[in-house]
Amino acid sequence: MNTKVYTIKDPSSPQGEDLKMIAECGEIIKRGGLVAFPTETVYGLGGDALNEDSSGKIYAAKGRPSDNPLIVHICELSAIEKIARDIPEEAYILARKFWPGPLTMILKSSGVVPLKTTGGLDTVAIRMPSDKVALEFIKASGGYVAAPSANISGRPSPTKACYVLEDMDGRIDAVIDGGDNAIGLESTIIDLTEDSMQVLRPGYITNEMLSEALGRDIETDPALLDPTRKERPKAPGMRYRHYAPKGEVHPVKGDADKVFEHIREELTKAKGDNKKTGVFCSKDNAGKYDADVIRCAGSLDDAETAAHHFYSALRDMDDENVDIIFVENFTERGFGEAFWNRLLKSAGSEWEDA
Ligand code: TXA
Ligand code: MG
């Protein structure tokens, strides 16, 4: 299969030629094909959510187990009434506050979305992205686009069209290139099918933001916070080792000075063992490490910039065949919870203290 690339000239406000290209991509989806597209979080691998053959093709293209359900992307609020049932008031409160945006809600399925899309579950994950190209594309596709992140299963989610092509060239019909994703980390997932209303995957919309909107305490699925617990994470996708580069990832916790010294010592040891080394660090320290590959974000208290650059840093480390990657102690507060969740998954849940 030849994967066609459609490059959008003005992703912030697609018009004219851009809309024509998006319409063509919508036709591909309606015919049962697959198109990767930008969202504000990461690139999605889109297919018709209401067509089970399309969902089958998505699982095959990603190499993903078919019991791991797909998120249905919509472009208008009324769409939830077709695909969900017994919708609680909270869903409307959150939709009004955070949609379009990086929030996915799990609701009871009306049965309209095939079981192949929901991974056999009687619930359905729904998100209305805010990216303008994504919204136009969903509209052109008929309003219901199933889309996991557009990476091969186990690879970091793609945050640029070139990363989608690294994984998907020849496996899908087309890619819409809408530039870099604004956030760079997958959406927050909240489960509204149970009274506890837990967050199943942390993201840009934090527990504090959700708690404030709903006027009650919203907590994260405890299985995510402590991987040694017996219960498994409720979102099937959070059970797999994920986001993993080929090299070992070593997050280092502690005071900034100690972390810096610790990483310098570990780099010397790793070099002595003939390992290829990498560091993901704050902007200020980028020039101070002796490592083969250095990728930096902003300051240590800036989770947004760290999250934005994290997946591309992991991909670069893979391209350079880095054996061991040290990560400085970026903040765990606010959006930092989501950053640390992905960081620890890439590290197999381990960190070290400086
Ligand atoms: O930001 C995002 O959400 C991106 C963009 C493309 O929208 N999509 C994304 O999809 O991250 P994916 O497939 O990589 O992750 C979806 C997660 C998986 O962990 C999956 O198990 C979970 O959502 N999920 C989907 N439906 C579910 C359901 N009914 N119940 C529980 N978890 C569900
Ligand atoms: Mg994914």
Give the count of beta carbons closer than 10 Å to the beta carbon of residue 52. 16
Q: For residue 65, is the peptide bond before it cis, meaning its omega torsion is within 30 degrees of 0?
A: no
Structure tokens at 73: 């992307």
Cross-strand pairs, 145: 48, 73
Cross-strand pairs, 124: 107
* Ligand 1 binding pocket, CB closer than 6 Å: 39, 41-42, 44, 68-71, 104, 106, 118, 121, 123-125, 127, 129, 147-149, 186-187, 189, 200-201, 234-238
Structure tokens at 153: 């299963």
Q: Express as a percent the part of the chain with pLDDT over 90.
A: 89
Q: According to CATH, where is 3.90.870.10 located in the chain? A: 4-225
Question: Domain 4-225 - what CATH class?
Answer: alpha beta
Which positions ≥6 away from 16 have C-beta within 8 Å?
none
d(CA 32, CA 279) in angstroms, rounded, equals: 42
Ligand 2 center–CA 338 separation, angstroms: 14
Which residue has the least CA distance to atom 20 on ligand 1?
A: 237
Q: Which is the CATH superfamily of the domain at 248-353?
A: Threonylcarbamoyl-AMP synthase, C-terminal domain (3.40.50.11030)
Which positions ≥6 away from 221 have C-beta within 8 Å?
198, 199, 200, 233, 234, 235, 238
Specify the amino acid at residue 336. G
Answer whether 0.85 is exceeded by the pTM.
yes
Contact 278, 263 (CB under 8 A): no
- Three-state SS annotation for 207-234: HHHHHHHHCCCCCECHHHHCCCCCCCCC
> What average pLDDT does the structure give for the chain?
95
Banded pLDDT at 67 (limits 50, 70, 90): confident
Q: According to CATH, where is 3.40.50.11030 located in the chain? A: 248-353
If you compute the radius of gyration of the chain from its CA atoms, what whole number of angstroms results?
20
pLDDT reading at 241 higher than 80 = no
Contact 207, 218 (CB under 8 A): yes
**Pocket perturbation via mutation, ligand 1, pick of 164, 186, 220, 308 by most ligand atoms within 8 A of CB:** 186
User: What pLDDT does 23 receive?
Assistant: 98
The mean pLDDT of 17-42, rounded to a whole number, is 98
